[in-house]
Chain A
Amino acid sequence: MNPEAGEILVVGGGVSGMQASLELAETGHDVMLVERAPYLGGLVSQLDHQFPSNHCGMCRMLPMLHRDSGEQSCLRKGLRHDRIHIRLSTDVTAVEGEPGNFRVSLRKAASCVDPIQCIGCGACVKVCPVETPDDFNAGLSMRKAIFQAAPFNMLNSYRIDPAACTRCGACVSACPTGAIHLTDADRGAFRILVVDDEQIVRDSTAEWLIEEGFAVEKAASGLQALDLLGRSSYHLMLLDIKMPGMDGVEVLKKAKDIAPGITVIMMTAYATVETAIEAMKSGAVEYLIKPFDPEMLLSMADKHYQAFVEAADEKITAGAIVLTGGAALYDPSGDPRNTLEYGVLPQVVTSLEFERMLSPAGPCKGLLLRADGKPVSRIAWIQCVGSRDLQLGADYCSSICCMISIKEALLAREVSGENLRADIFFTDMRVCGKGFHRYKELAESAGHIRFIRGRVHSAIPEAVSGDLQIRYVSLSGIEKEESYDLIVLAIGQRPHPDMPRLAERYGFSLNASGFAESLPFSPSETHRAGIFMAGSFSGLKDIRESVIQASAAAVNASRTMSVLSKSFPQHLDTKDIPPFPDVSREPSRVLAAICSCDAALDVCMDAASVVQRLRQDPAVQDVLFFNHLCAGQDRESLIQEIRQRHPNRLLTASCASCADIFQEVAVAAGMDPRLSVTADIRMPVLCAMSSSKALDTAAKMQQCADLMNSAISEGLVRVKHADAVKPSETAVTARALVAGAGIAGMTAALAIADHGYPVDVVERSDRVGGNLNWIHHTLDGHDVQPYLEEIRQKVESHPRIQVYTRAQVMGVWGEAGHFYTTVAGPDNSVMQFEHGSVILATGGAEASTSLYGHGTNPAVLTQKELETALHSDALASRELSSVVMIQCVGSREAPRNYCSRVCCQTAVKQALALKSQYPDVRIYVLYRDMMLYGFSESAYTRARREGVVFIPYSLDQKPEVVPAETGACVRVFDPVSDRRLEIETDIVVLATGIVPAFTSDDGDIFGVERDPDRFFMEADAKWRPVDAMKTGVFGCGIVNAPLTISETVASAQAAAMRALRILTRTTLASSRITAVVRHSLCSRCQLCIAACPYQARVLDTEADQIRVNAAMCQGCGACASICPNSAAVVEGFSMPQLFEMIDIAVQ
């Protein structure tokens, strides 16, 4: 394993980046994960709560199999995995090469604080004189120039914000461990040229920079500047745009010829901002709007100075690249109109800021108060701020804001109580994801959230009350005014401002909205081979979609490697452990080795009390202290000590991240590594030091000493009771079963087969292709049939894929890694398969209906029937003058109380198709909410422009269809014009939605539950969206949830990735922390079977024993809790051990 040559590069450490990295690492790839921020987690690290549970579940991304290879803890605190190499505060500066051999340069930003030396005592923060807005809390609170980047990310210690730091050096002298090094000694070597015709600007700018130690020269005109540039070299040029004679843009172009390496920042007035933006294309990196304050200028200058200082790049090679750089959020203050006065009125906040306000770790400590201290009792959420706004260049829907607002409204009511009024102002509530509609209805009925259709444009503060007044017009045209304490702007997304540059660097293309463009039908592939993407990089995804697409990107990256190398991933074996002497009958003899982390921990460790505490336990044989246990001489001497002193157990107290090293030490010294335990004494120190309790340093040090003692005692208990049981293993059958040969099943099969594993595809009908057989083109205008044909041929000609049509899975037995399946084939034949994982892709179909006269009135068609008619002669001979489409037929109300996601897109697609075929046809779409999320919004705009009329209806005033001589007459109430319309129409098209092909019998066969809407029930809606609760079974495509074709492809690839995590292993070993049964104690009451959420327990009736599938068991402990006499125990958590732990805790 060579950390310098990450096999696959993942750029962006948000949810998508972490998910892609984990997927790849778990299938045996080395991953280099690069993140620009100093912490992982991206946007989600700022969101404490997530739909649908309204709390965090990020850790559910962590491996469920082979959990020992990664750290099992809160992902907000960090990610650790044997095969993932993480570079934080790092940027990719250059990429060249081709798939299989990309050469990548990485550049790490200065951090000034040595993470090894820093013990997080916070002494530096206390003495730092600089206060600056805290980005993490969306600028709502202040922080010092030295700070912790993310509140939970303990291991990442402190950082210096170079832009804010004044380099006073106070922190350097306050640091007890000498961890801080300021790197501004040679600012004088950084040469800056200030070019402005206005003397006052020129002089003050130069003066500010000189004061900060930079070397500055000035030029009064473009000519003078070019002259200076020709004579000596500069690192940075500050260049005014509007100058007499030669203007800034011209100077910039010429300067770039003279000194191509120079960094240029444009200085501009309000009126010429556009020119400045234009100048970026000619090589300027940033611009400053005049008048600017010194801080702004200096932070920019310093940023470039830091880059100059840190110019040394790290070079790596990568076989494939996954881009997960996310998106930016829309900044309402960037809108010159800014009528909601964001940034001006403190009571107007963005949804992100509101999340931080809700966070107990945020600036308000989770209490909702107005700036004047009054409790917040009325909140308005305003949707579509920065989205669906053509004037802002956003002809797209940001997709995620509706759900965020609903969640926030519910949380706010939880925080502030039942009396809080929570109103959401919307144009369309786009609750079209899985379970979203139910969530919204629940928010409305049980949560008492008010949903008001109306776009609010401006907020006016009332001088006396401090309230904010808003005005909107109800659908029927009545003007209304309401007052609020707080207004939350549901801000949309924007492509990251660097996207054009990134597109150039990586060679992918951008779509019309500035996001990365994907290949048709494959959202995780860019136009450049070997470079994949996930998350909001390609636009606007929630966590679920990001996670799915990250898995899809990972499987494609992994496939690239497999196909290129023509070799398939090595079967991953669990680490082979040589036999060690059996010490299970011996009393514990523990050698305790305490590390002071290069003396960093000395300041707060009380060695005498550590020894005294340990010595109390007769199991402790020796206590030794080391300075740097993880490396070098100390590491060697520990091995020697173990050999000489012959302990049978090893306790090390150090950083958690060194645990692996000490396991190697144990092996080297001839000890069973399972009998070595590392007590993390660093995290408790960081916790104590960063605790908000106001304690003086001495008290904090004492607290640290106590916590370290507890940590060591706990470690002692763990090691004392440690058991060298070899985890049980299941041999993996390296073969997959896919049920369903629609596009989902075929895509999943191809992804697995391309990795070298055989796949059996079982299809109920007599041909493959599923719903794609009747769909002709997509809303984006891509032809479906050629694509289907391409996939069909690939599948049918693939040497490792076997398709069985007219076949049906009758039963699946077994467990992850080894299933037995019976398949009924045509003519009563029966087949038996063995395989390691199962993918359910049985799809779904358009729901049938008898509403609105469908089935009796020939003028009433479903969307599918229209699609068929449009592509046959059925309609061709007819003159169409009017078409009415009715959305949500039998959907979004009981009993099918969900949104089928694709019908609105289909309606718009058909409307556009009809318009092109019959330019004069009048089309009316009767809808409840037009679910044109994401970029499909632009098609909605197009349809409107084509003259399609969209009329909203509500459940209590549904349209009526009465048969007419030719066609039908549709009656509908139009709330906007406030009257009933009667539309004579040739045809009526019903959007009936999707029903999954997944009966309760299917559920029983595959061991999968169905969700309330009868779709495949995933293990976790957000974090494990294609996994069944039963390990080894996955669900993708529309059996999982209604999806478009490309979304289906992504989910299928994700399911394949998940399946590969099992197939790439020869055996599935359980982790060391699994439940076992002590049969002699067991009364077979079987409570544990009911309690196990992972279906990992069964009663073996022959042996009359409870059996645990160690691979499926996740060690959650539910069985141990319910078992009355500890016949069910989780290894590593024996009762005596826990008792001792409790004793330590209550001491």
Chain B
Amino acid sequence: MKDAENVQLAEALAPIRDMVKACIQCGTCSASCPNAFAMADTPRRLWRMLQAGEVQMVLKSGSFTLCSACYTCTLRCPRGLPLTDAMSALKQVVAHQDALRFASTTLFYRKFMESVRRHGRVRETEFMCLYLTAMKNPLLPFQFAPLGLKLFSRKKLDFRPPSKGGDARMDALFQKVHELENAP
């Protein structure tokens, strides 16, 4: 990656680095994390990478996408660090970087928010459709097919057609947030 991008990335990660600077590498987070087993890099190592300013490595790792926000680490961290928030912030950075690698995660969230913006509330069925289409993975829908059937049988699926128009209130709100966030 080019230096300029690197600098930009480092800037984006700086507030997250501040969150974990006081980490003493005791490993409580990693031993407590229900998803650590699936992570290429334990949470502790992610914090270490952040401390050392290894921004590229953090993003390359991507282990943070496996955080399920259970807050156990946050609760247990002897330094009282906002670790779940740090994970969440990393996800945000990725979302903004639009890194392809995290397509499944980011897209999921983006499509979700699209649904919200449109209706004010989420239409779960609609959003899943949007998500599955956007993933462009022909196998994915099959993965969720059994669930869909079940929901269908319990009359839990909402088959209102996706509305094209937006919810005005939501549009305003989203717009305002965007303005505020991008204000200097």
Contacts and interface: CB of A to CB of B under 8 A. Distances in A.
B52 A454 contact: no
Interface in A442-473: 454-458, 471-473
B44 A944 contact: no
A454 B27 contact: yes
B31 interface: yes
Tier of interface size on chain B: 20 to 34
A1121 to B, nearest CB: 53
B123 interface: no
B30 A479 contact: yes
B37 A390 contact: no
Contact of A455 (B17, B53, B54, B78): B78
Contacts of A415: none
A2 interface: no
A479 B52 contact: no
Interface in A905-954: 922, 940-941, 944-947, 949-950, 952
Interface string B16-51: 010001111111101110001100011011001101
16 contacts: A339-B76, A384-B78, A389-B78, A390-B80, A391-B78, A455-B31, A455-B78, A457-B28, A474-B27, A477-B45, A479-B36, A944-B23, A952-B25, A974-B52, A976-B44, A977-B45
B76 A473 contact: no
Given A457-B32, A477-B30, A945-B21, A388 B48 contact: no
Contacts of A950: 24-25
Contacts of B44: 473, 477, 976
B32 A479 contact: no
B79 interface: yes
Contacts of B170: none
A944 B24 contact: yes
A1090 interface: no
A388 B30 CA distance: 18
B78 A388 contact: yes
A977 B54 contact: yes
A471 B53 CA distance: 29
A211 interface: no
Contacts of B22: 941, 944-945
B48 A457 contact: no
Interface of A: 337, 339, 384, 388-392, 427, 454-458, 471-475, 477, 479, 922, 940-941, 944-947, 949-950, 952, 974, 976-978, 981
Interface in B114-128: none
B31 A454 contact: yes
Given A458-B32, A941-B22, A944-B22, A473 B27 contact: yes
Given A339-B76, A384-B26, A454-B31, 16 more contacts: A391-B79, A391-B80, A455-B28, A455-B78, A458-B32, A472-B27, A472-B31, A473-B42, A474-B27, A475-B27, A477-B42, A945-B21, A947-B51, A976-B25, A977-B48, A977-B49
Interface of B: 17, 21-28, 30-32, 36-37, 41-42, 44-45, 48-49, 51-54, 57, 75-80
A388 B23 CA distance: 12
Contacts of A455: 26-28, 31, 78
B10 to A, nearest CB: 13
- Closest 4 pairs between A and B when the two form their complex, measured CB to CB: A455-B26, A473-B30, A390-B80, A389-B78
Nearest to B78: A389
A471 B22 CA distance: 23
Contacts of B76: 337, 339, 457
A941 B17 CA distance: 15
B153 to A, nearest CB: 37
A950 to B, nearest CB: 8
B31 A471 contact: yes
Contact of A337 (B23, B24, B30, B75): B75
Contacts of A981: 52
Contacts of A337: 75-76
A479 B77 contact: no
Contacts of B54: 977
Contacts of A475: 25, 27
Contacts of B37: 479
Nearest to A427: B26
A427 B24 contact: yes
The residue in A475, A477, A922, A946 that gathers the most chain B C-beta atoms within 10 A of its C-beta is: A477
Nearest to A391: B80
